[in-house]
């Protein structure tokens, strides 16, 4: 009788051990994915701290508008008004 109970307990333990291992593996994968995603964002985004003190001479948006005005024959009018963020 006790041997049968021990087998049942061992089987239950093995089932819970498999579940725990799969959950543990999934958590490790999730943490690894989040770490890779956050580090990718950190290393690929540009440094913008200098924009707090120095205004850029030109940007891609300014160049786009200049090209549009040249195509439409509008004279170059550039009025820069920088706003604090």
Instruction: Please give the backbone phi and psi of residue 57, each rounded to the nearest 5 degrees, phi first.
Output: -70, -40
CA dist 28 and 15 (Å) reads 20
Question: What's the structural domain count of the chain?
Answer: 2
Are 70 and 30 within one domain?
A: no
Burial class (CB in 10 A: 0-12, 13-18, 19+), 69: middle
Q: Identify whether residues 56 and 78 lie together within a single domain.
A: yes
30 and 13 belong to one structural domain? yes
Co-location of 77 and 59 in the same domain: yes
On whether both 12 and 30 belong to a single domain, the answer is yes
Is residue 41 located within the same domain as residue 1?
Answer: yes
Residues 53, 41: one domain? Answer: no
Q: Please give the share of the chain, as a percent, with pLDDT higher than 70.
A: 96
What's residue 39's pLDDT? 96
* 48-71 per-position pLDDT tens digit: 888 878 888 888 988 998 899 889
Considering the domain architecture, whether residues 25 and 10 belong to the same structural domain is answered as yes
Global model pTM greater than 0.75: no
Domain extent for 73: 49-84
């Amino acid at each position: 009788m006790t041997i049968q109970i021990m087998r049942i307990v061992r089987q239950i333990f093995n089932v819970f051990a498999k579940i725990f291992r799969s959950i543990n593996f999934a958590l490790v994968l999730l943490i690894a994915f989040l770490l890779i995603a956050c580090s990718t964002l950190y290393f690929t985004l540009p440094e913008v701290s200098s924009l707090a003190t120095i205004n850029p001479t030109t940007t891609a948006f300014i160049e786009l508008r200049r090209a549009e005005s040249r195509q439409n024959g509008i004279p170059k009018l550039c009025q820069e008004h920088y706003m604090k963020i």
